[in-house]
Amino acid sequence: MRAMLLLSILLLPLCALAQEPASTADATAETAEPGTRIESPSRSALYEQALERKLPTQEQRKLDFNGESQLGLYMPAARPEGLGGVLLIAGPGEHADWPNLIAPLRRQLSDAGWNTLSIGLPDSPPLPDSALNDTPTDNTDPQDGAVEQGLQAADNQPDQAPPAEDAAADYATRCTQLIQAAWKVLSAEGNEYITVIARDASGYWALRAASPPVSGQPPQALILFQPREPELADQPTFQLLLEQWDKPLLELINSGSAQGEIQAREHQRIAQRAGHAQYKQWDTDYLLDSMLAEDMLQKRIEGWLERLVETQAAGSTASAKAAMTP
Q: Supply the CATH number for residue 48's domain.
A: 3.40.50.1820
Q: Is residue 11 part of a domain?
A: no
Q: Is residue 136 part of a domain?
A: no
Q: What is the pLDDT of residue 28?
A: 40
Helix (H, G, I), strand (E, B) or coil at 316: helix
| Residues sharing a CB contact under 8 Å with residue 314, sequence separation 6 or more, in sequence order | none
Ranges in the chain, pLDDT < 70? 1-39, 127-165, 215-217, 288-291, 316-326
Dihedral sign, Cα of residue 21, residue 27, residue 32, residue 35 = positive
Q: What is the pLDDT of residue 315?
A: 72
How big is the CA angle at 225 (ends 191 and 188), to the nearest 5 degrees?
Answer: 15
Q: How does pLDDT run across 256-312, given as a tens digit for each residue?
A: 888 889 999 999 999 999 999 999 999 988 776 666 788 888 999 999 999 999 988
Q: What is the pLDDT of residue 212?
A: 82
Q: Is residue 306 part of a domain?
A: yes
Q: What is the pLDDT of residue 71?
A: 95
Q: Show the domain range for 117.
A: 39-124+141-324
Q: How far is residue 261's CA from residue 120's CA, in Å, rounded to a whole number?
A: 27
Q: Is residue 13 part of a domain?
A: no
Q: Is residue 200 part of a domain?
A: yes
DSSP-derived letter for residue 256 is T
Q: Is residue 170 part of a domain?
A: yes
Q: Is residue 111 part of a domain?
A: yes
Domain count, the chain: 1
Q: What is the pLDDT of residue 197?
A: 97
Q: Is residue 78 part of a domain?
A: yes
- Among residues 67, 59, 56, 164, the alpha carbon closest in space to that of 115 is found at 59
